[in-house]
Amino acid sequence: MRLDDEQESQNIEDRRGFRVSKGVAGGGIGGIAIILIALFLGVDPSAILQNNSQVNVEPEPSAESQRVGRDEGREFVARVLGSTERTWGEIFQRAGRTYTQPKLVLFTGQVQSACGFAQAAAGPFYCGNDQKVYLDLSFFRELHERFQAPGDFAQAYVIAHEVGHHVQNSLGIMEKVQSRQSRAGEREAKALSVRLELQADCLAGIWASFANRERKILEPGDVEEGLNAASQIGDDMIQKRAQGYVVPEGFTHGSAEQRVSWFRRGIQTGDLKQCDTFARGVS
Ligand SMILES: [Zn+2]
Ligand 1 centroid to Cα of residue 102, in Å, is 15
Q: In terms of pLDDT, which residue wins out, 165 or 243?
A: 165
For residue 123, the CA-to-ligand 1 centroid distance in Å is: 10
| DSSP state string for 169-215 | HHTTHHHHHHHHHHHS-HHHHHHHHHHHHHHHHHHHHHHHHHHHHHH
Which DSSP string corresponds to 201-263? HHHHHHHHHHHHHHH----TTHHHHHHHHHHHTSHHHHHHHHHSS--GGG-SS--HHHHHHHH
- The model's confidence at residue 252, banded by pLDDT at 50, 70 and 90, is confident
Distance 62 CA to ligand 1 centre (A): 33
Going from the Cα of 162 to the center of ligand 1, the distance in angstroms, rounded, reads: 6
Q: 158 C-alpha to center of ligand 1: Å?
A: 9
Q: What mean pLDDT, rounded, does the chain reach?
A: 84
More confident residue, 238 or 29: 238
**Interval between CA 122 and ligand 1 midpoint (Å):** 12
Q: Which residues contact 194 (CB under 8 A, 6 or more apart)?
A: 251, 252, 253, 254, 258
The pLDDT of residue 41 is above 70: no
Distance 210 CA to ligand 1 centre (A): 20
pLDDT at 67: 60
Q: How far is the CA of 65 from the centre of ligand 1 (A)?
A: 33
- What confidence tier does 277 reach under pLDDT thresholds 50, 70, 90? very high
The size of the chain, in residues, is: 283
Of 29-33, 118-122, 149-153, 177-181, the range with the lowest mean pLDDT is 29-33
At residue 13 the predicted structure's pLDDT band, cuts being 50, 70 and 90, is: very high
Phi, psi of 172 (to 5 degrees): 80, 5
Cα(198) to centroid of ligand 1, in Å?
Answer: 8
pLDDT score of 262 more than 60? yes
For residue 35, pLDDT over 70 is answered with no
| Ligand 1 centre distance from Cα of residue 134 (Å) | 12
Distance 23 CA to ligand 1 centre (A): 29
Q: Is the pLDDT of residue 84 over 60?
A: yes
Residue type, 107: F
User: pTM of the prediction?
Assistant: 0.83
Name the pLDDT band for 48 (thresholds 50, 70, 90).
Answer: very low
CA of 274 to the centre of ligand 1 (A): 18
- Stretch 216-229: mean pLDDT: 93
Cα of 183 vs centre of ligand 1, distance in Å, is 21
pLDDT above 80: residue 169 = yes
> pLDDT per residue over 56-78, tens digit each?
666 665 555 456 678 999 999 99
Mean pLDDT of 211-225: 95
Ligand 1 centroid from CA 67, angstroms = 30
Q: What is the Å distance from ligand 1's center to 250 Cα?
A: 15
pLDDT reading at 29 higher than 80: no
**Distance from the Cα of residue 59 to its chain's centroid:** 25
Pairwise CA distance, residues 80 & 193, whole Å: 25
